[in-house]
Structure 1
Amino acid sequence: IDAALPALGARAAPAAPAPSGVTRTSPYRARLIGNHRLNQAGSEKDTRQIIFDLAGAGIAYQPGDALGVWPENDPRLLEELARLTGLAPEQLAGRDISRLTPAMLAFCAARAPALATGPARDAQAPWHKGWQLRDLLADYPVKASPEEWLALLKPLTPRLYSIASSLAAHPDQVHLTVNILRYEVAGRQSGGLCSRFLADRARAAALFIQPSPHFRLPADDVPIIMIGPGTGIAPFRGFLQERQARGAPGRNWLVFGEQRAACDFYYREELEALARAGSLHRLSTAFSRDQTRKIYVQDRLHEEGARLWAWLQEGACLYICGDAARMAKDVHVVLGQIIAAHGDMEADAASAYLDQLAAEKRYLRDVY
């Protein structure tokens, strides 16, 4: 669907919500009321829609904000690491035991000669590919005092997730779209600290709103192009819900990608309903494993370069959310190519055009 472009108005972000008193250091313990797997049978991923109840909390957020979640350690892992370190599980509970840092490796290597001549010298060693402290100590026992362990292990820190909802559509709720990281190390189950907490054990969690003033919707009549593969779709679900609730006339174009359409098309029914209602004017998808040659969102953008350039010429805002290491870089390169080709510019001029869009807050990125 690609409706005619409305006239553009002045850009203005919605008014900021009143502060609730809930902060990183004074979080609100919210009840988890939804934990739904978004993937269908046959998927290689486990991506969840996580929903928290905010009723009575006085918490407000804007589309584009992030939710800070304080994770809790797996009691079984605490027991296991307690045996390996000699600490009590209660002493470990508030520590981040999921990360194997260079400082931890150096500490252990200084006390375990076998480790010093193995993984500590080899950048390609298994510890470098998903090992946690538990895995290291299980294979390379280390003796240290409780005081030394506690000085080494840093306090837990909150994890930030892009909010995947709008209060206008879901009053008293906040939604997340979370990829659950799971893998095996030497026969031991491992993975993401916070994602597995949310998926497997959480009944409630301490949370707070992390405002993202750099990642806001424009005025209602301004068209937007949203590029969000995988869990990068999260803030754009909130954008679309907010614009539908406000009856915003600006056109909305979502570019989404994942592995397979049959099992990894997150929020498909919602998006199709938004399209039928006239709130999602264009939906472009790239499912990398559905054909012999892998196709990604940057490939779809390249194919639709003329249309993208036309939207930009009409004043559209361009948003990217997702992986910073690869996707965002690849998309940035393709955007430069599209601007150069369809704007009849040299590469330097196309790069300057993107810089100007960023300066005008029309090229906004939420990458991680």
Structure 2
Amino acid sequence: MNLEVKNSPFDQEQTDQLNRLLVTMDDRQKIWLSGYLAAVQSPSSHTTKDHEGEGNSTAARQVTLLYGSHTGNCEGLAEEYANQLKEKGFEARYLDMDEYKPKNLKNEQDLLILTSTHGDGDPPDNALSFYDFLFSKRAPKLDGIRYSVLALGDSSYEFFCQTGKEIDERLHELGAERIHPRVDCDLDFEEDAESWWHGVFDQLGDTQGQISQTIEKVSSVTDRPIYSKKNPFQAEVLENINLNGRGSNKETRHLELDLEGSNFTYEPGDSLGIYPKNEEALVDELIEEMDWDPDLSVIVNKDGELRALREALISHYEITSLTTPLLEKLAPLTDQEAFQQLVSSKEKMNAYIYGRDLLDVVRDYGPWKAGAEEFVSALRKIPARLYSIASSLKGNPDEVHLTIGTVRYDSNGRKRTGVCSGQCAERTEVGDHLSVFVQKNNNFKLPDDPSIPIIMIGAGTGVAPYRSFLEEREESEAQGSSWLFFGEQHFVTDFLYQVEWQQWLKEGVLTKMDVAFSRDTSEKVYVQHRLLENRKEFYQWLTSGAYVYVCGDEKHMAKDVHNTILQIIKEEGSYTEAEAEEYLKEMRKAKRYQRDVY
């Protein structure tokens, strides 16, 4: 017998979802579901909303965790914290801010916000709707609601953790009560996030000791090593190839790494994190400049682990980039008046740190009165670098492929190299090992339905995830159309993965491809120009339900592409500016417009 929900208390979207689910279930599953629903509605249950506010002393408080995440860090933390709350008897849920209906804010009890900040102080894409609602006149009074905010960011940016700071202040303005102060986390966020969570959990009615017991219990379930960001896997390098031709201005490395034994799984759109090492020559120059003992033991973590100073500077501490918080921490370590004047002005610090590293600071403002232990304690941990995965696990079992552009430039009289890209290009051979982990990214995913058309837009290494997309669709024999827009400098030297794209075009895995090589023509042509040239067909793909992906540089390429898409929607759809923006906003909320930008 086929069941179908018709007259019911559900809205149309819920009704459609139920009907789609019911037709896939067998009789055994339906019986189990009916029993499950009966059980959770039983008067003995202390987690149902029916008993909230009725004086039932056993009723658990409802905790809602909302996350705004670009790379997946906040999402991972929200899931972890929600699971711990459930284990302790709380009614807890965690939601992408895009999935949450902001008008329900006034009905919350305990609200936990976990959000990153994107670019120069902007909310991540999946937090935009929530952010706009919160700062609109429609935002309700939130008297009686308790909350706390965990903000993730990068202190090398001027507007560090700006989104978290603004949401924290706005919730307070609306009448909500802070149960724990906001914590702002840098790239090495784990310890600060853990501290925030212990403080929040205390206020929710538990103790730090019980949290620790829960965590230890989970980690002791298996004797197998569990590799993660905290415990990275040592992946052997199988291939390390320069994708650019002779004479190119660029060096783009294609790396293939062996994941056998890691138990890692990944999907197209995910990233691989690499913990890099600083260049030994740079570390030696720093030690010599400061007249430090390279064998001196220094503490490298909160557990008091000791390492020789040279090893610590190579593997544990960031020395290749500066932040304003670092300069402020260093201020008490020198009597130089010029340095005190520098740190007295944010504007001066921001101008100074651009293109400089720690060696520049110690040379420019010595002598320093602090010893090595005190000096390095001011440094932050060397953060992992995230790279879009350029392979499909289905097509490459136990392997992961990366596309890494080598960063090289001259600044302030010295040649500079990106810490991780330089390591991969200059100091990594086949057979070497890199410390890696998988970073999930649910905000950049192929549609569940493989028949849905996709449009992929990227420049340079921004094409990496599209290689994984097409490998995946080839393996699954997906029938949906695909269109790739790719941009680089020169056709002859910089056409990354050219042979593979052409083979996929021949086989029909890739339906259409448009390229833009900016330095091969008198007038520079970029991917947004190719979009405009194909505006009518592009818009037809949009109206047929195509998903649009953008990957690459945020400040230039992604911004220009975004504005071009808006222009096409406005002109081809005869929309006003506001209507075109709403059209694209709805696409984003429906996961049909996804960006992985940096």
The verdict on a shared fold, with TM-score over 0.5 as the criterion, is: yes
8 Å Cα contact 1:162-1:234 kept in structure 2 = yes
Determine helix, strand or coil for the equivalent of 1:358.
helix
Match of 1:335 in 2: 565
Corresponding position of 1:83:
288
Of 313-322 and 114-123, deviating more is 114-123
Structure 2 residue 249 is the aligned partner of structure 1 residue 23: no
Q: How does 1:1-368 map to 2 (within 5 A)?
A: 21-85=226-290, 86=292, 88=294, 89-93=310-314, 94-106=316-328, 111-115=335-339, 123=348, 127-143=352-368, 144-202=370-428, 203-218=432-447, 219-368=449-598
- 1:308 counterpart SS class: helix
Letter in 2 for 1:27: P
- Label 1:20 to 1:236 Cα distance change in 2 as closer, same or farther (>3 A): farther
Q: Secondary structure at the match of 1:239?
A: helix
Partner Cα separation in structure 2 for residue 223 and residue 20 of structure 1 = 40
Which of structures 1 and 2 has the bigger CA Rg? 2
Give the conservation status (yes or no) of the 8 Å contact 1:84–1:141. Answer: no
Give 1:118 shift: 7.4
Q: How far off its partner does 1:41 sit? A: 1.5
Kindly provide the CA deviation profile for residues 93-142 of structure 1, in whole angstroms up to 9, marking residues without a partner as x.
Answer: 31111111113334556533345567987749984431111123234323
Deviation, 1:26, is 1.3
Matched position secondary structure for 1:326:
helix
Asked if the contact 1:119/1:126 (under 8 Å) is kept, the reply is no
Check 1:140–1:124 CA distance in 2 against 1; reply closer, same or farther (3 A cut): closer
Decide whether the 8 Å contact of 2:324 with 2:349 is kept in 1: no
CA distance in structure 1 between the aligned counterparts of 2:409 and 2:500, rounded to whole angstroms: 31
- Would you say the 8 A contact 2:275–2:383 is kept in 1? yes
Question: Residues 58 and 150 from structure 1, CA distance in 2 versus in 1: closer, same or farther, beyond 3 angstroms?
Answer: same
CA distance in 1, matches of 2:392, 2:451: 18
Stretch deviating more after TM superposition (308-317 or 127-136): 127-136
Question: What is aligned with 1:5?
Answer: none
- Bigger shift: residues 247-256 or 194-203: 194-203
How far does the alpha carbon of each residue in 1:35-72 deviate from its partner, in whole angstroms, 9 at most, with x for none?
11111122111111111111232221111000011111
Taking the aligned partners of 1:111 and 1:310, their CA distance within structure 2 comes to: 66
RMSD over aligned CA atoms reads 2.2
Query: Structure 1 or 2: larger helix share?
Result: 2
Alpha carbons 1:257, 1:286 under 8 Å: kept: yes
Report the Cα distance in structure 2 between the residues aligned to 1:246 and 1:107, rounded to whole angstroms.
53
Q: Give ranges in structure 1 of 5+ residues lacking alignment.
A: 1-9, 11-18
Report the more deviating stretch, 104-113 or 192-201. Answer: 104-113
Output the TM-score relative to the length of structure 2.
0.56
Distance of 1:237 and 1:39 partners within structure 2: 17
Q: SS where residue 243 of structure 1 aligns?
A: helix
CA deviations on 1:205-230 (whole Å, 9 max, x unpaired) are: 11110011111111210100000111
Matched residues in 1 for 2:371 and 2:408: separation?
Answer: 31
TM-score by length of 1: 0.89
Residue-by-residue CA offset, 1:169-204 (whole Å, 9 max, x unaligned) = 222210111111112334433221111111121321
Bigger drift between 357-366 and 81-90 goes to 81-90
Unpaired segments of 5 or more residues in structure 2? 1-19, 21-223, 295-309
Residues matched between the structures, number: 351
For 2:335 and 2:551, the matched residues in 1 are separated by 43
The percent of aligned pairs where both chains have the same amino acid is 40
